[in-house]
């Protein structure tokens, strides 16, 4: 289950070992590099092709085939890379993640549970926060003692930490911990004071301030739009130097997992920082940004483009319609079996945008401007809201191949896959849920429905384009873990979650390479190792 070390190879810029032979072609025609000596999986054709060697020139693939033929293209300066039995595959393309937060995940306290961290109880969380604060201070985190990734589903106490818990870390310094879903946070008393949240504070539209039993006093837990603006602010670097530190750490982490194309799945004001990083030539991985619908001005900037500028571009518009199934804020048509704290029986989650007219305006704008749309939809009521808007927008603007994307889809109904097909949507699923929360889903939605989470095989069988994603930092940006969960669908307890939704190993690999390229209209240059495409590839070692 654990991935081996992955080395990202960007073009042919990494030189391993050179052994020279007599040049057979002039320097201007000679290839720059030849890779051989391992399994080369091209993903070209229905059954893929496994050549003996691959040759690179000027950052593009010049040849795939036998090593003998590749050597006939070599010259004096050609570098030969012996894979030594390792596997070469197309570069990894995550269908959805939050690249700008990778650096924060690398820099803040790691509150993830096993196997990605060591915080399996609230006591573990408090100890890790104290340790992190002692070693790091708060200069890099805007004065917060900041930790990311706690998961109430696997904590010993099966609950969120509250201000009473976090006050044990400090009563003088604000403390914030973010939920693994990225949709909640908890703060201590000093944190509530810093945020200006009191008993008189009202719940914002699309969010909840959790209260102490029998009163309006906040208990420290903030949901959805009551939490997100504060979480985003806390992890946004305050100086250019910190911005470089965060993005540099995130890019290094992504490269270590084999990414060659990354996604910032909900860019807001941080687009400015990403664009500045790109202007200064700091990116070496390609980064697609998806602009939150509340920042439409960025969609009209120079960065909205089909082509990358210094490895960065705005790819489309992001629309979030509900919350997190892990946190039980995903918007369902039927109740959760166990409601979250503060909610009554019959609770079904809630919409991020309650008014259908507001959703329609956003989608109409995307269609009118031919912007590709990425819609966060976890449960079936949110999917119904999306399809109502798509029906009207398609009738008005036409149904050409927009490749609008529905991400997550954990609790959608099987009949809704037909609606996705009707509107030519890409389904980007999150099969890692089967491992991290498969057992949890059996408790909160029932064993039968839990078997249907991330219905990627059903979507593929209906003829949909499908991809897989990590949603990092919800989970570590470990694309080998995607492969394992997509193929096996085994929960923490060892239960197989919906064996009929498994993909084959080759299909799982395509879901983070070739099909990922298709999702972003990049299939002509990426996703498979074929002559004329970019030398966009990774070595698994």
Q: Could you tell me if residue 454 is left (phi over 0), alpha (psi between -120 and 50 degrees) or otherwise beta?
A: left
Q: Which CATH architecture has domain 316-526?
A: Alpha-Beta Barrel (3.20)
* 109-110 β-sheet, strand order: 109-110, 145-150, 175-179, 184-187, 218-224, 207-211
Bond before 235 cis per omega within 30 degrees? no
Least Cα distance to 111 among 85, 138, 132, 81 occurs for 132
Check if the beta carbon of residue 359 is closer than 8 Å to that of residue 351.
no
Q: Which residues pair with 40 in a beta bridge?
A: 88
Using one digit for the tens of pLDDT, what is the confidence trace for 206-242? 899 999 999 999 999 999 999 989 998 888 887 889 8
CA distance 314 to 302: 9
Helix, strand, coil content of the chain in percent (nearest 5): 30, 20, 45
Q: What is 101-235's CATH topology?
A: Diaminopimelate Epimerase; Chain A, domain 1 (3.10.310)
Instruction: Give the span between the Cα atoms of 96 and 90, in whole angstroms.
Output: 18
Nearest-10 Cα torsion for 374, 376, 377, 382 = -100
| In the predicted structure, residue 17 carries a pLDDT above the cut 50 | no
Q: Which residues of 348-375 are buried (b: 16+ CB within 10 A; e: fewer)?
A: bbbbbbeeeeebbebbebbbeeebbbbb
What topology is assigned to 6-91 in CATH?
Urease, subunit C; domain 1 (2.30.40)
Question: Confidence class of residue 463 from pLDDT cuts 50, 70 and 90?
Answer: very high
Where exactly are the structural domains of the chain?
6-91, 101-235, 316-526
pLDDT tens digits along 249-274: 999 999 999 999 999 999 999 999 99
When computed from its CA atoms, the radius of gyration of the chain, rounded to whole angstroms, is 24
Residue 216's pLDDT is 96
Q: Is the fold of 6-91 the same as that of 316-526? A: no
What's the confidence (pLDDT) of residue 24? 60
DSSP letter (8 states) at residue 294:
T
Enter the tokens of residue 366.
């995307």
Percent of the chain exceeding pLDDT 90 equals 85
On the question of pLDDT at 538 being above 80, the answer is yes
Q: CB count, 10 Å around CB of 414?
A: 12
Cα separation of 290 and 292, whole Å?
6
Determine which of 19-23, 360-364, 365-369 has the lowest per-residue pLDDT on average: 19-23
Helix (H, G, I), strand (E, B) or coil at 304: strand
């Amino acid at each position: 289950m654990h991935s081996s070390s992955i080395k990202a190879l960007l073009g042919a810029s990494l030189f391993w070992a050179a052994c020279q032979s007599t040049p057979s072609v002039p320097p201007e025609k000679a290839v720059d590099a030849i890779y051989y000596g391992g399994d080369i999986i091209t993903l070209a054709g229905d059954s893929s092709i496994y050549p003996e060697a691959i040759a690179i020139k000027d950052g593009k693939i010049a040849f795939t085939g036998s090593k003998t033929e590749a050597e006939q293209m070599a010259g004096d300066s050609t570098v030969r890379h012996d894979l030594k039995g390792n596997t070469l595959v197309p570069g990894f393309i995550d269908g959805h993640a939050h690249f700008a937060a990778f650096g924060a995940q690398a820099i803040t306290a790691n509150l993830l549970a096993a196997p990605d961290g060591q915080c399996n109880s609230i006591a573990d969380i408090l100890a890790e926060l104290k340790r992190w604060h002692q070693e790091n201070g708060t200069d890099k985190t805007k004065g917060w003692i900041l930790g990311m990734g706690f998961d109430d589903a696997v904590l010993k106490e099966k609950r969120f930490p509250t201000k009473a818990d976090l006050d044990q870390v400090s009563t003088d310094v604000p403390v914030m911990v973010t939920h693994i879903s990225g949709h909640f946070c908890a703060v201590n008393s000093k944190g509530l004071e810093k945020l200006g949240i009191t008993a008189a504070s009202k719940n914002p539209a699309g969010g909840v301030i959790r209260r102490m039993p029998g009163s309006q006093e906040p208990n420290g837990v903030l949901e959805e739009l009551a939490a997100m603006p504060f979480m985003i602010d806390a992890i946004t670097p305050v100086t250019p130097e910190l911005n470089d530190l965060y993005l540099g750490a995130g890019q290094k982490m992504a490269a270590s997992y084999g990414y060659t194309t990354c996604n910032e799945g909900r860019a807001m004001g941080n687009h400015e920082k990403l664009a500045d990083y790109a202007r200064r030539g700091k990116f070496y991985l390609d980064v697609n940004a998806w602009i939150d619908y509340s920042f439409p001005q960025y969609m009209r900037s120079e960065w909205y483009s089909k082509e990358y500028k210094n490895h960065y571009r705005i790819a489309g518009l992001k629309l979030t319609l509900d919350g997190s199934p892990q946190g039980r804020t995903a918007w369902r048509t039927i109740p959760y079996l166990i409601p979250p704290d503060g909610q009554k029986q019959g609770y079904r989650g809630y919409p991020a945008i309650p008014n259908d007219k507001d959703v329609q305006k956003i989608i109409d704008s995307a269609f009118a401007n031919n912007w590709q749309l990425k819609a966060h939809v976890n449960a079936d009521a949110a999917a119904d809201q999306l399809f109502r808007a798509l029906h009207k927008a398609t009738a008005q603007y036409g149904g050409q191949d927009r490749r609008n994307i529905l991400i997550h889809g954990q609790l959608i109904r099987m009949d809704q896959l037909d609606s996705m097909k009707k509107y030519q949507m890409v389904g980007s699923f999150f099969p890692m849920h089967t491992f991290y929360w498969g057992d949890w889903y059996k408790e909160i939605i029932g064993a039968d429905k839990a078997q249907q989470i991330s219905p990627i095989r059903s979507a593929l069988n209906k003829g949909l384009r499908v991809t897989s994603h990590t949603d990092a930092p919800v989970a570590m940006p470990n694309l080998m873990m995607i492969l394992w969960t997509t193929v096996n669908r085994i929960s923490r307890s060892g239960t197989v979650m919906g064996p009929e939704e498994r993909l084959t190993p080759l299909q799982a690999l395509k879901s983070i390479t070739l099909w990922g390229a298709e999702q972003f209209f990049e299939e002509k240059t990426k996703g498979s190792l074929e002559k004329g495409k970019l030398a966009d590839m990774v070595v698994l070692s």
